[in-house]
């Protein structure tokens, strides 16, 4: 009998299942296979995390980035399906409203020709609510406003007949 899964393992499994739902069809066995493949690619970092549990945040960030790259590859192979990935931590100013708008508009313009598309937004929470800093009411409000802003911008700049999936990681 396999050892019980840790809370982080279960969280990652459900994360992968939700992220790759189109591929897995909510089959947790398939999601587990994808999770194991991502974890295998991060085996060295996982060993470091076991040795120093305080570096778990680095592993989670690397796991999310690897999952995003895998999702991008998956959608690149789907003809007729657009995909754009915006990383709010790609530059120091990416998460500010002016730069966020410019970067998101670039992505939405790329997705415009597609009837089905996916817009993946990563690290928005980490950009506005850094884990090493205290979560204040002002930072929390800025994060919630940024979420709403991205959703509103995507809704306003997407054709009514288009099916846009907006994913936040």
Among 75, 99, 74, CA closest to 86: 99
Domain ranges of the chain: 1-67, 78-169
Spatial separation of the C-alpha atoms in residues 167 and 19, rounded to whole Å: 8
Percent of the chain with pLDDT strictly greater than 90: 24
Q: What is the pLDDT of residue 3?
A: 53
DSSP letter for 2, please: P
Per-residue pLDDT tens over the stretch 62-111: 888 888 888 888 887 778 888 998 888 877 676 777 788 889 999 999 99
CA distance 73 to 59: 21
Q: Is 93 within 8 Å of 99 (Cβ atoms)? A: yes
């Amino acid at each position: 009998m396999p050892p019980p899964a840790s809370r982080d393992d279960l969280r990652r499994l459900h994360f992968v299942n939700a992220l790759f739902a189109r591929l897995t069809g909510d089959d947790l066995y398939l999601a587990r296979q994808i999770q194991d493949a991502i974890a295998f690619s991060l085996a060295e970092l996982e060993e470091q995390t076991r040795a120093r549990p305080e570096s778990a945040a680095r592993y989670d960030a690397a796991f999310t980035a690897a999952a995003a790259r895998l999702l991008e590859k998956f959608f690149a192979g789907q003809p007729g399906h657009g995909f754009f990935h915006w990383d709010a931590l790609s530059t120091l100013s990416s998460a500010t409203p002016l730069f966020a708008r410019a970067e998101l508009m670039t992505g939405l313009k790329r997705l415009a020709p597609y009837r089905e598309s996916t817009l993946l937004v990563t690290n928005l929470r980490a950009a506005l609510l850094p884990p090493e800093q205290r979560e204040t009411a002002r930072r929390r409000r800025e994060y919630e406003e940024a979420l709403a802003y991205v959703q509103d911008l995507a809704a306003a700049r997407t054709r009514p007949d288009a099916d846009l999936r907006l994913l936040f990681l």
